[in-house]
Amino acid sequence: MKNGEGRMPRHVAIIMDGNGRWAHARRLPRIAGHRAGVMAVREVVRAAAKMGLKVLTLYAFSVDNNLRRPRREVTALMGLLVRYLRLELPEMRARRIRLRAIGRTGELPAHVRRALAQVTRETARNDGLTLVLALNYSSRQEIMDAACRMARSPGAARTGRDGLRRFLYAPDLPDPDFVIRTSGEMRLSDFLLWQAAYAELWFTPKLWPDFSKTDLARAVRAFASRERRFGGVTAVIGASGAAGAAGAGA
């Protein structure tokens, strides 16, 4: 990323879509697509760490997935998640990757909560890439939960955007600069609606299991070529990849 290195996004968020279609195209069971998707996660996380990204958020499992998918598939997905966490912990230690999770994780099965807690605890002091897994996640639910917590908090600032932001699932993390979605769909699907208000969007027809480190690098180069205005007229892009706007405009 030598060209435009100053325009590297700090926080990339990915909607990983297309596992089922990948499997269907190969006449395989859906779980085979999810297994292939885990391999893509491993490659992309590694690439993001080498690239120097600060935060990578992966939309791994939504509230709607939990409600609408067959129990057998959900159970298999939870098993893959636990296996991924256990197998990747040594690599997370070696690459200084810190794990976080957002969503209603308290509603996940007990063995999944235990695995998440262990890896989160053992990587908490790592100072490299922060890997955020959105699990049992819904952005609308997050905003509702934040509003309820704010209403119950004595002395909380109850007005303005910053007041509510403090009660989101991970208020300490920077908002995503860049949201990527695979599989050709062009929607956010209830993902980081508050945080992605000014994020750049990038869509690819590739199904998630086929998304590689090369695709991530291509997407990040596309981000670097864009001018971000944040509702202003002139973009000012600094070394951190953040932009400030001069003047007002549509």
> Is 65 one of the catalytic residues?
yes
3, 17, 126, 177: which one is catalytic? Answer: 17
3, 19, 64, 65: which one is catalytic? Answer: 65
Cα gap 34→208, rounded to integer Å: 9
CB 174 within 8 A of CB 13: no
Cα gap 144→44, rounded to integer Å: 31
Phi and psi angles of residue 15, each rounded to the nearest 5 degrees, phi first? -90, 105
Residue 227 DSSP one-character state: P
The angle subtended at Cα 6 by Cα 216 and Cα 187, nearest 5°, is: 40
What is the distance between the terminal CA atoms of the chain, rounded to a whole angstrom? 31
The residue among 26, 47, 60 whose CA lies nearest residue 211 is 47
> Is 215 one of the catalytic residues?
no
CB 215 within 8 A of CB 202: no
Catalytic residues: 17, 65
